[in-house]
Amino acid sequence: MSAERLKDFPAGPGARETFPWEQWVNGEIWKLSRGTGPDADFVKTLPAMRTVIYAAAKRRGLSVRTRAVRDGQEEALVVQFAQRDEHFDDATPKETASNKKAK
């Protein structure tokens, strides 16, 4: 047996996951799958990943909406980022006192 040189140190339990934020924050709607296989986008629990997503949005000065989806054994988060001053396309702005007067 001979020693083998590795390019990267292997991740262990509790290792930090890295995510393609620049891809995900583009305003499109993304379904991020939870799991351990090659097609999974994250390993964390849904609540833990949601916390990571909201923190990423805050660091970038963005708004984000999330929805947990479960289909049998599959767990995923649907996410969409937007500029803070923009409404999501299908979201209805909340009625406020100022826009109530305009009606």
Read off the pLDDT of residues 33-89 as tens digits, 9 standing for 90 and up: 999 888 999 999 999 999 999 999 999 999 999 999 998 889 999 999 999 887 777
Q: Please give the pLDDT value at position 34.
A: 95
Q: Please give the pLDDT value at position 15.
A: 63
The number of residues in the chain equals: 103
For the entire predicted model, the pTM comes to 0.70
**When comparing pLDDT for 95 and 30, which is higher?**
30
- Of 103, 96, 56, the closest CA to residue 80 belongs to 56
- Of 46, 58, 47, 75, the closest CA to residue 21 belongs to 58
Q: Check whether 94 has a pLDDT greater than 50.
A: no
Give residue for tokens 């290792």.
15
Of 10-19, 41-50, 93-102, the range with the lowest mean pLDDT is 93-102
CB 37 within 8 A of CB 68: no
- Of 13, 19, 22, 31, the closest CA to residue 69 belongs to 31
Give residue for tokens 């990943």.
49
Q: Check whether 96 has a pLDDT greater than 80.
A: no
